[in-house]
Amino acid sequence: MKYIDFVNLKYKPEETDIICKFYVEPEDASIKEIAGGVAAESSIGTWTELTTIKHYVKKLAAHVFSIKGNDVKIAYPIELFEEENMPNILSSIAGNVFGLKTLKNLRLNDIYFPPQLIKNFKGPKYGIEGIRKLLKVNARPLVGTIIKPKLGLKTTDHAEVAYEAWLGGCDIVKDDENLSNQRFNPFEDRVIKTLESRDKAEEETGERKVYMANVTAETKKMLKRAEFVLNHGGEYIMVDILTCGFSALQTLCEEDFDLVIHAHRAGHAAFTKDPKHGISMQVIAKIARIIGVDQLHVGTGVGKMFETRKEVSENIEALKEEMNGLKRTFPVASGGLHPGLIPALIKFFGTDFIIQAGGGIHGHKEGTISGSKAMRQAVDATLKNIPLSEYAKTHKELENALQTWKEQD
């Protein structure tokens, strides 16, 4: 079979097919030929005709069934894949095809997983509804922070910053993505001391509080760390899903710990930033949800990150759309956020999202407690339809925050 033989614009996908939407930009071939090449190289074909293809193999060929400009849709028979093996699926549809010399650019923009495949994965254990039940917060966005500076704090100071953030009004405190088990802040000591701070903050505020300890590591070590968190009264863990890999993530989810899994997307821009090449965040979001994460960073549409509002909206939809009965994954907005951006965030996200602000809390001139208060005040004002400038007249923490970041904008 030649590349062109994998193009069949009359093909109608089967209900069990995996369907991928690619942006395809040829280097020195027609769009039809190179689209067929992508389908061939990601299913049963290769660069030359083979004498080893039997008649029964041909029915497993992927089919290019739509070409509109540079947008190409390819259907893959489900029999091509080990159905409960996400690394295998991705090695096929998003593997060697990116290196084809005849391609100038290739981007996997979207993917449809059939119910027959989705049912083999756990999906979120808690999701939006379970997390809201755990925290007893039903009608507003959750407010979270990341300990800053991201690296360097000793364990006692880390736990103190967490305590101050909770005391000021944060629901959630998490480690940064690159805080692990460094000598200045060992993992086990950090978990014990920070959970002690959580308990103290809960007692003093009367609110539920959670700590996301970063368990990212080699898979066996990651499982031990998750178990350590659980055994010491923790309810949440955080994992860098791309750097640890989908195989490790799948193993973690299948352990079925009674822990909410917060997914950080560290490294995603290496795949997602080029609009013509790589893999979209929408695809990553769908995969992470199917495997089983409860919450995931999706961008902001404002702040310091590059993603457009359209891209962020697609990421949110991937976490919330109907998907064979899977629970909805909580979208997390993070990256350059401060209280002044809250009205725009809530207008865009609605209320079912998590605000994750680092510098926008710890950068408050009066410290972390005031920074957390300012963030909660911004949320309260927005939900009451009161302009922040008006609300700030009677809430000095918000007033100072607005002034601080007005000066920096």
Residue 137, C-beta contacts closer than 8 angstroms, at least 6 positions apart: 171, 208
| Cα–Cα distance list, 247 to 81, 220, 228 (Å) | 15, 12, 21
Question: Could you tell me whether strands 18-26 and 354-357 are parallel, antiparallel, or unpaired per DSSP bridges?
Answer: unpaired
- Classify residue 5 by its DSSP letter: G
Catalytic site residue from 264, 327, 373, 395: 264
Catalytic site residue from 73, 148, 174, 193: 148
Neighbouring C-beta atoms of residue 56, cutoff 10 Å: 7
Structure tokens at 105: 């650019």
Q: Annotated catalytic, 150?
A: no
DSSP codes, 81-115: S-TT-HHHHHHHHTTGGGG-TTEEEEEEEEEE--H
Q: What is the dihedral of CA 175, 181, 183, 184, to 10 degrees?
A: 10
Nearest to 359, CA basis, from 150, 185, 216: 150
| Cα–Cα distance list, 179 to 267, 311, 370 (Å) | 15, 28, 25
- Measured CA to CA, the distance from residue 323 to residue 346 in angstroms comes to 25
Structure tokens at 254: 């299948």
Q: Annotated catalytic, 148?
A: yes
- Classify residue 59 by its DSSP letter: G
- Classify residue 49 by its DSSP letter: -
- Measured CA to CA, the distance from residue 196 to residue 155 in angstroms comes to 12
Residue 178 near residue 150 (C-beta atoms within 8 A): yes
- Measured CA to CA, the distance from residue 262 to residue 294 in angstroms comes to 6
Q: How many CA atoms are closer than 13 Å to the CA of 389, on its beta-carbon side?
A: 1
CA angle 80, 85, 87 (to 5 degrees): 95
Neighbouring C-beta atoms of residue 59, cutoff 10 Å: 9
- Measured CA to CA, the distance from residue 149 to residue 220 in angstroms comes to 28
Just list the catalytic residues: 148, 264
